[in-house]
Amino acid sequence: MSEKVIVALDAMGGDNAPVEIVKGAVEAVKEEAGLLVKLVGREEQVRAELAKYTYPQGQIEVVDAPDVIETGEQPVMAIRRKKDSSMVRALTMVKEKKADAFVSAGSSGAILVGGQVIVGRIRGVERPPMAPLIPTAKGVSILVDSGANVDSRPSFLVQWAKMGSIYMENIMGIKNPKVAIVNVGLEEEKGNQLVKETYPLLKACKDINFIGSIEARNIPNGDADVIVCDAFVGNVILKLYEGTAKMLLSKVKTTLMSSLKTKIGALLIKNSLSDTMKSFDAKQYGGAPLIGLNGLVVKTHGNAKAMEVKNSLLQCVKFQREKVNEKIIASISAEKLDEAEA
């Protein structure tokens, strides 16, 4: 692998910038020799952080960007006006092929808008979806769309099913991934208008392994690898999943601290329980990719720490090496040919 994968990393985005972002970059290049990180942000601040570490010098560069897009800003305005922000500069690097991918813990709205407006869609992709990985009892599933496109059309969901399948097959190594559409029951006649119209299109789709509807209660079991839904529903799933897990685990913790007896019990189970919970942490897979763009854009949690930043950078390397975008382009072109024949 002679050519390095170049990732433009938003050094100023998120609650823990630039400290954890820079740390994540250092950890990533130490682990992956084929990665070049371009840290985009306020040069002085970024260099001061970088000075704390030793790392392979050729693998991190700093690109100055004096401005920052804050979380509360109106996304379209921010992207349009803040030309000198870390986000706009980094996204422009992807557009100009000076970087293969962009990673940010900054404003979701600005990342979504910037990804589409600056980097641009792959020709033929109707709407790029936000596609995070969610942990399940069996491993991990991809949830498309979880935040980019509410009020979607059936044709969007069909493309998301294809792109999600390509992602799971190439990045997660799942052969012939099972695709399901989120529904309120398993029968084919169930669902809202969108699901009823999308179901037969997915069923007719030759290049995916469509297994039908999935009820939300079976998502945590890992019954499907690619879970397709409108972004409103996907966002509800993603956030409720996180919120329920957090609340339950905090209830368990409170119980464990409630008496001397339970405290002793807690000591005995602590390590095993913590291992179990780690296996249930989506951060190990990196951030949420926005797929279908001329490049890769990855959104990490706003409160991302070095570990999540590192994993997001490694995720970009894999995405590039496995030529996921080329496979998406091929799949979308095949679709156009099918339509032309029909």
- Residues 31-90 binding a second copy (CB under 8 A) are none
| Rounded least distance, CB 55 to a second copy, Å | 35
- The residue type found at 76 is V
| Number of residues counted as binding a second copy (CB under 8 A) | 58
| Rounded least distance, CB 316 to a second copy, Å | 26
| Rounded least distance, CB 154 to a second copy, Å | 14
- The DSSP secondary-structure symbol of 129 reads P
Q: Which is nearer to a second copy, 64 or 215 (CB)?
A: 215
- Residues 247-276 binding a second copy (CB under 8 A) are 247-252, 254-256, 258-259, 261-262, 264-269, 272-273, 275-276
- Residues 154-183 binding a second copy (CB under 8 A) are 182
β-pair partners for 98: none
Contact with a second copy (CB under 8 A) among 193, 339, 340, 342? 193
Q: Which is nearer to a second copy, 176 or 259 (CB)?
A: 259
| Rounded least distance, CB 259 to a second copy, Å | 7
- Cβ burial of 326 (10 Å; 0-12, 13-18, 19+) is exposed
Site string for a second copy, 209-248 (x = CB under 8 A): ------xxxxxxx--------xxxx-xxxxxxxxxxxxxx
Task: Round to the nearest angstrom and report the end-to-end CA distance of the chain.
Answer: 42
Query: Which tokens go with 52?
Result: 């704390």
Backbone angles phi, psi at 226, to 5 degrees: -120, 115
Q: How many Cα neighbours within 13 Å face the side chain of 112?
A: 20
Query: Which tokens go with 131?
Result: 């596609």
| Rounded least distance, CB 241 to a second copy, Å | 6
> Of 297, 298, 292, nearest to 325 (Cα)?
292
| Rounded least distance, CB 335 to a second copy, Å | 26
CB-based contact 205:172 (threshold 8 Å): no
Q: Which is nearer to a second copy, 198 or 294 (CB)?
A: 198
**Is the previous residue joined to 18 through a cis bond, with omega within 30 degrees of 0?**
yes
| Rounded least distance, CB 275 to a second copy, Å | 8
Compute the chain's Rg from CA coordinates. 21
Query: Which tokens go with 156?
Result: 């969007």
223: helix, strand or coil: coil
- Residues 125-154 binding a second copy (CB under 8 A) are 136-137, 147, 150-151
Binding interface with a second copy (CB under 8 A) = 136-137, 147, 150-151, 182, 184, 191-193, 195, 215-221, 230-233, 235-252, 254-256, 258-259, 261-262, 264-269, 272-273, 275-276, 280
